[in-house]
Structure 1
Amino acid sequence: MKVHVVSETAYMIKGNGVHTAFVDHVELLKANQDLETVVNNEERGDVMHSHTYGPFYFWKGLRYKHKRVFTAHVIPDSIKGSLPAWKLWMPFVKWYFKQVYSYADVCIAISPRVEEAILESGAKTKIERVYNPIPVDRWKCSPEKRRQGREILGIKEDEFVVLGVGQLQARKGVEDFMDVAASIPEARFVWAGGRPFGPMTEGITRIDTRIAESEGSNIQFTGMLDLDKMPLIYAAADLMLFPSYQENCPLAPIEGAACGLPVVFRDLAEYTTLYERPYLKASTTDEFIRLTREMMSDSKKLEEGKSISQALIRQFDKHEIREKLLNIYQYLYESDLQRAASKFPSFQTT
Structure 2
Amino acid sequence: MLKITMFSRADEVKGQGVGSAYLELVKMLRREFPTEFKIKINSWKKADISHYHTVNFPFYLSTFLKKARGVRVGYVHFLPETLEGSIELYKPFQKIFNWYLLDFYRRMDELVVVNPSFIPALLRTGCDQDKITYIPNFVSQSEFYEKTEEQKNQIRSRLGYDEGDMVILGVGQIQKRKGLDDFIQLAKDNPQWKFIWAGGFSFGKITDGYADYEKVYKNPPKNLYFPGIVDRETLVDYYNIATIFLLPSYNELFPMSILEAFNCGTPVMVRELELYQSVIEGFYIGCKDRADMQQKIAVLDSNRPKLAQWRQASQRAAQKYSEAAVAKLWYNYYMTTYKKYRS
Q: What TM-score does the superposition give when structure 2 sets the normalisation length?
A: 0.89
- The answer to whether the Cα contact below 8 Å between 1:276 and 1:315 also exists between their aligned partners in 2 is no
Summarize the alignment of residues 32-181 of structure 1 with structure 2, pairs less than 5 Å apart: 32=32, 33-42=34-43, 44-61=46-63, 62=65, 64-84=68-88, 89-123=93-127, 126-143=131-148, 146=152, 149-150=155-156, 153-181=159-187
2:287 matches 1:317: no
Cα offsets for 1:190-235 (capped at 9, x unmatched): 00001111011111112222334425x1001011112333212212
Alpha-carbon separation, structure 2, partners of 1:261 and 1:122: 40
- Structure 2: distance between partners of 1:152 and 1:14: 25
Paired with 1:27 and 1:92, the residues of 2 have a C-alpha distance of 34
- For residues 148-176 of structure 1, give each alpha carbon's deviation from its aligned partner in whole angstroms, at most 9, with x where no partner exists: 75466443444331100111011001111
Q: 5+ unaligned residues in a row in structure 2: which ranges?
A: none
> Separation in 2 of the partners of 1:9 and 1:228?
20
Counterpart of 1:15?
15
CA displacement at 1:251 relative to structure 2: 1.2
CA shift, 1:82, in A, is: 1.2
Give the residue type in structure 2 aligned to 1:3: I
Contact 2:49 2:69 in 1 (8 A): no
CA distance in 1, matches of 2:154, 2:199: 18
Question: What CA distance in whole angstroms lies between the structure 1 residues aligned with 2:281 and 2:320?
Answer: 7
Q: Give the aligned length.
A: 336
What is the one-letter code of the residue matched to 2:179?
G
RMSD of equivalent CA atoms: 2.4
Shift of 1:88: 5.0
- On the 8 A contact 1:139/1:259 being kept in 2, the answer is yes
Q: 1:335, CA displacement in angstroms?
A: 3.9
Return closer, same or farther for 1:51/1:161 CA change in 2, 3 Å cut-off.
same
Unpaired runs of 5+ in structure 1? 339-350
Alpha-carbon distance in structure 2 between the residues aligned to 1:69 and 1:89: 26
Q: 1:194 aligns with which of 158, 179, 200?
A: 200
Q: 1:222 aligns with which of 209, 219, 227?
A: 227
Distance 1:145 1:195 in 2: 30
Counterpart amino acid of 1:92?
I
Give the corresponding residue for 2:301.
296
The match for 2:4 is 3
The structural deviation recorded for 1:85 is 5.3
Q: Give the Cα–Cα distance (whole angstroms) in 1 for the partners of residues 138 and 90 of structure 2.
A: 30
TM-score by length of 1: 0.87
Pair 129,64 (structure 1): closer, same or farther in 2 beyond 3 Å: farther
